[in-house]
Amino acid sequence: MAKSFAAEYAKKIFSAIYCSPLTRARQTAAPIEEVQAIKSIITPALQEINYGSWEGKTVPEVQDQYHDDHVRWLADPGWNAPTVGESGIGVSKRVLGLIDDIQHQYKDGRILLVSHKATIRVALCALLGIDVGRFRFRFGCPVASLSVVEFTGSGPLLKSLADRSHLNKELRELPGT
């Protein structure tokens, strides 16, 4: 999937690539780094949401072991974090802080951010004025998709959402993507 993305976007010049330090994001960024001949700027601001004590557990396990926290999180993950984890508001603050830094550093050009499903959905909600607590229900964000936000004089403009046209049909239809 990452190689398909790199092949499709090889001729689009990126001024910079920012990437989560997590292995799967770095593996995703590697092919586009190669064709663009630039290294990603690794930043924890793009890490996946921290699910705290829930990491690696199934939903039934979380419901059983952390029932009250899970109920609160389901009601509003914007303000209620997983047990010892991170709220949607926390994610939005770290990602929007990075985006603000990027906007000050790069006045124009394409900047590629390589991140994770929940983090991307939270960022899109925050940028577009959508309640961050609804991030799980407002945007689909399948694996290896590309969303494009243009920063205009009137604010962020969503140009494309979760585009996977760079993937062939077989890759788009893989289970779990």
In a domain, 25, yes or no: yes
Domain count, the chain: 2
Per the structure, the complete domain to which residue 20 belongs is given by: 2-49+87-170
| pLDDT of 97 strictly over 90 | yes
pLDDT at 108: 82
Q: Are residues 81 and 166 in the same domain?
A: no
The verdict on residue 66 lying in a domain is yes
| Listed range (32-36, 77-81, 89-93, 106-110) with the worst mean pLDDT | 106-110
Q: How far apart are CA 18 and CA 77, in angstroms?
A: 26
| pLDDT at residue 68 in the model | 97
Q: How confident is the model at residue 176 (pLDDT cuts 50, 70, 90)?
A: confident
**Confidence (pLDDT) at 63:** 97
- Mean pLDDT along residues 116-124: 96
CA distance 116 to 80: 20
Same-domain status, 76 and 150: no
pLDDT of residue 109: 80
- DSSP H/E element including 12: none
Q: How far apart are the first and last CA of the chain?
A: 10
Contact in structure between 43 and 20 (CB atoms under 8 Å): yes
Find tokens 């990452």 and name the residue: 2
Using DSSP's 3-state secondary structure scheme, residue 40 falls into: coil
Q: What is the mean pLDDT of residues 130-144?
A: 91
Please tell me the predicted confidence (pLDDT) of residue 175.
84
Tell me the percentage of the chain whose pLDDT exceeds 90. 91
Same domain? 18 vs 100? yes
Q: Is the pLDDT of residue 177 over 80?
A: no
Residue 105, domain member (yes or no): yes
112 and 78 share one domain:
no
Encode pLDDT of 14-60 as tens digits: 999 999 999 999 999 999 999 999 999 999 999 999 999 999 999 99
Task: Tell me whether residue 74 is exposed, middle or buried, using C-beta atoms within 10 angstroms of its C-beta: 0 to 12, 13 to 18, 19 or more.
Answer: exposed
Q: How far apart are CA 147 and CA 130, in angstroms?
A: 16
